[in-house]
Amino acid sequence: MEAKEKFIRDRQADFQDVSKMQELIDEGIAWSMEGAIGREAMSGLESGKYFLPNESHKDYYGNHIPSREQVKEGTKGSLSNSYDFYQDDNNLWELELQYEDYENH
């Protein structure tokens, strides 16, 4: 595992829901589940909360979901995009607030 990925996964491990969703993305399961799961996965790939796995997958409708090697570095789903997300203290603060709010309800 390269250093960027380890750094990201270590940060994700602090947030159970984030690491669980990353696991669903890694296994390709996120793309065959209900719409809310896929929308959360896509939103997180856009922001950098999640990153694409090493292998591509197909969604429920047969659409191609690329691997992280198939996207331009620094764009949605790339390790660099996710690395930048977890380097930003504001993003970590937002995750902390979301996680605390989730635990309190």
Residue 69: band (very low, low, confident or very high) from pLDDT cuts 50, 70, 90: very high
- CA of 82: how far to CAs of 27, 94, 98, 101, in Å? 18, 15, 18, 23
Rounded to the nearest 5 degrees, what angle is found at the Cα of 73, between the Cα atoms of 15 and 2? Answer: 55
Structural domain for 59, as ranges? 3-103
Give, in degrees to the nearest 5, the angle at Cα 50 between 46 and 55. 100
Percentages helix, strand, coil for the chain (3-state, rounded to 5) are 65, 5, 35
pLDDT band at 102 (very low <50, low <70, confident <90, very high): low
Report how many domains make up the chain. Answer: 1
Q: Average per-residue pLDDT in the chain?
A: 92
pTM: 0.89
End-to-end CA distance of the chain: 36
Q: Is the pLDDT of residue 101 over 90?
A: no
